[in-house]
Structure 1
Amino acid sequence: MKCEICKNDKATLKRPKTNEKICKNCFYFVFESEIHQTITTNELFKRGDVVAVGASGGKDSTVLASVLKTLNERYGYGVEFVLLAVDEGIRGYRDDSLETVKRNSVQYGMKLHIVSYHELYEGWSMDNIVNQVGMKNNCTYCGVFRRQALDRGAQALAIDHIVTGHNADDMAETVLMNILRGDIARLGRCTDIMTHSVDSVVRRSKPLKYAYEKEIVLYAHYKALDYFSTECTYSPEAFRGTARTLIKNLETVRSSTIIDIIHSAETFSLSRSSRHQVQQKCEKCGYISSNKVCKACVLLESLNAGLAKVKLDSAPSMSTPLRVLERLSF
């Protein structure tokens, strides 16, 4: 069968996103072109920018770095991209994945900067944290610490813009999770392609927002990209895994489920009565926070006190999806 796009070469794959039967070269071009369109439509970059790519060594951030290098050269963005990685201190996982990031730095000609939990958080690494708190709530600590670590790394490089490898599947899962948790604040902004948090002076954007995970895997495979594929030892992600399974089941009935969820969330608007957070500085560390004490310091205090049972949950108390929908308009 001939490629449905170029009508010349033999079709070698079926696009998960469109079900088109196309050749490899056409797949590369349309995949890259869609990301280029996302970047230009949303004006993510301007000439002369220095932008940090949040790099973990995994398929998403590796594909993102590779595509950004290609597009920067093809379309003349005039942007300098650097790799910014976080060492959470997970022996046998993060130390190995960082070796991949170091190779990527050479392969893509991007400078690499690494920040670590151990240096930023009073000697605490994820290995130490899990030893104290166990496996159940460790992702709460890691999520809060990682976000602030990326911010601090960007500020150390005098960079105010980070791009991350969040893809369409991630976005759809996050929308569903926020609805089920009744998290109005996050639901109202979780599909924004660029975010400015009251807890951070650093912008974050998602060039892969509309890229399907299956196509990211195909791109990495056919391009033979160098990436780390092992899952995090401490990240069972039970709730996200449940949302992911539900979405996959819905996809068997409606193939456009992922994009439909994203587009639906993009049309949500919060009622005027919704409260907005106010930016201030943490009384302990001086970092930007929406509360008197930032989340990282709250968790650090619990660790140092040997308590480590603080459940960090900024979601509102609304308990059912129905309550959420009552406060949304389309």
Structure 2
Amino acid sequence: MAPKICVICSAERAVLKRPKTGQQLCRECFYTVFETEIHEAIVDNNLFARGDKVAIGASGGKDSTVLAHVMKTLNERYDYGLELFLLSVDEGINGYRDDSLETVKRNKEQYQLPLLIVSYEQLYGWTMDQIVEEVGLKNNCTFCGVFRRQALDRGAAMLKVDHIVTGHNADDIAETVLMNILRGDIARLQRCTAIKTLTDDSIPRSKPFKYTYEKEIVMYAYYKKLDYFSTECTYSPNAYRGYARVFLKDLESIRPSAILDIIHSGEAFELREEVKSKMPVQSNCERCGYISSNKLCKSCMLLDGLNKGAPRIALG
């Protein structure tokens, strides 16, 4: 059987089939289309301005490692004029986060980018290991998600950056759309599908991988031989997101475009004006000053529950 030839260059042997399009590509053409699509997402959506200081959310996993590599590559290739930093959050999970942060430290040297690590213990006085001891394995991801988001913002403020980029990919966003629909939380769809989010009181965030499939990120990391950490979080097997992920993978196996279809469906939802008028108004937490639609932000409410020994009341 004759080897398949790359459909783009028509010269080199194809070594992979793109999950997103089904195209048979050689390695170099895959690199080109992968990086070009991300560049176009950045330019088309005006994610950055020349001179911006940009923090890359770095966990050591495949998504953030590829993001750091691609952001540095594109910044130099297209002369964006950005000053890049790595920003990591140490949740305090022994045997998982401590190991992945060693990968981030190697990435710092490999990409020659400054690194700041902020920890839950430093910011909140609790590690995730201590929180799980207190609350068990059922609702621990709620605490971690709320704390991590605020920790990234606090770390970005320490770095005095203008922008945060995260490695959320198309699969992640489609999963979030499914979760919000299943929970009846339609109001969040517009925000969760936005490539860039901005409020008056927080540092802008964007997702350059919004249209990038997870499988292609893995393939890029593999062929580029990037250094990343691949172990799953110790506490994530019981996470609600895991069930949405399995469902999405089943859909993708039948219809590869399902991931982007779900994202576009989320984008198409619109709230009636009378519904918008009843939604909570965003202000600031009375205690820590973080953005909140209540007197206390979710982080402070969860911390109150932990510090009073009643974390389940805080969850409610």
- Judge which range, 56-65 or 177-186, deviates more: 177-186
Matching residue of 1:58: 61
Aligned to 1:232: 233
Does residue 17 of structure 1 match 2:20? Answer: yes
Distance of aligned partners of 1:124 and 1:100 in 2 relative to their CA distance in 1, 3 Å threshold: same
CA-based RMSD of the aligned residues comes to 1.4
CA contact (8 A) 1:137 1:311 kept: no
Instruction: Please point out which of 52, 69, 78 is paired with 1:75.
Output: 78
Alignment of 1:212-223 (within 5 A): 212-223=213-224
1:22-69, CA deviations, whole angstroms, 9 ceiling, x for partnerless residues? 100000000000000000000001110000000000000000010111
2:185 corresponds to 1:183: yes
Check if 1:283 corresponds to 2:283.
Answer: no
Q: CA deviation at 1:237?
A: 4.6
Letter in 2 for 1:32: E
Q: Which residue of structure 2 lines up, in the alignment, with residue 194 of structure 1? A: 196
Equivalence for 2:161: 159
Give the Cα separation in 1 of the matches to 2:175 and 2:238: 12
1:239, CA displacement in angstroms?
Answer: 2.1
Q: 1:203: which partner in 2?
A: 204
Cα distance in 1 for partners of 2:109, 2:294 equals 41
C-alpha distance in 2 between matches for 1:311 and 1:180: 23
Residues 239-271 of structure 1 deviation map (CA, whole Å, 9 limit, x = unaligned) = 212211222222232221111111121122111
Pick from 49, 54, 57: which aligns with 2:52?
49
Shift of 1:86: 0.3
Name the amino acid aligned to 2:129.
Answer: D
- Partner secondary structure for residue 218 of structure 1: helix
TM score, norm. by length of structure 1: 0.91
**Whole-angstrom CA distance in 1 between matches of 2:69 and 2:238:** 27
**Residue equivalent to 1:247:** 248
SS in 2 for 1:189: helix
Question: What SS class does the counterpart of residue 103 from structure 1 fall into?
Answer: helix
Gaps of 5+ in 2: none
Larger helix share, 1 or 2:
2
Question: Where does structure 1 differ by over 3 angstroms across 4 or more consecutive aligned residues?
Answer: 310-313
User: 2:86 is aligned with what amino acid?
Assistant: L
Q: What does residue 257 of structure 1 align with?
A: 258
Shift of 1:109: 1.3
Matches for 1:296-315 after TM superposition, within 5 Å: 296-310=299-313, 312=315
Percent sequence identity is 67
Aligned partner of 1:126 in structure 2 is 128
How many equivalent residue pairs?
A: 311
Residue pair 1:188, 1:270 contacting (<8 A) in 2 also: no
Q: Distance in 1 between matches of 2:250 and 2:291?
A: 40
> Partners in 2 of 1:250 and 1:139 — Cα distance?
25
Please identify, of 73-82 and 239-248, the stretch whose mean Cα deviation from structure 2 is larger: 239-248
Query: Matches of 1:195 and 1:237 in 2, distance apart?
Result: 28
Deviation at 1:311, TM superposition (A): 5.6
Q: Tell whether the 8 Å contact from 1:295 to 1:312 is kept in structure 2 after alignment.
A: no
1:35 aligns with 2:35: no
Mapped partners of 1:135, 1:109: distance in 2: 38
* Contact 2:92–2:119 (8 Å) recurs in 1: yes
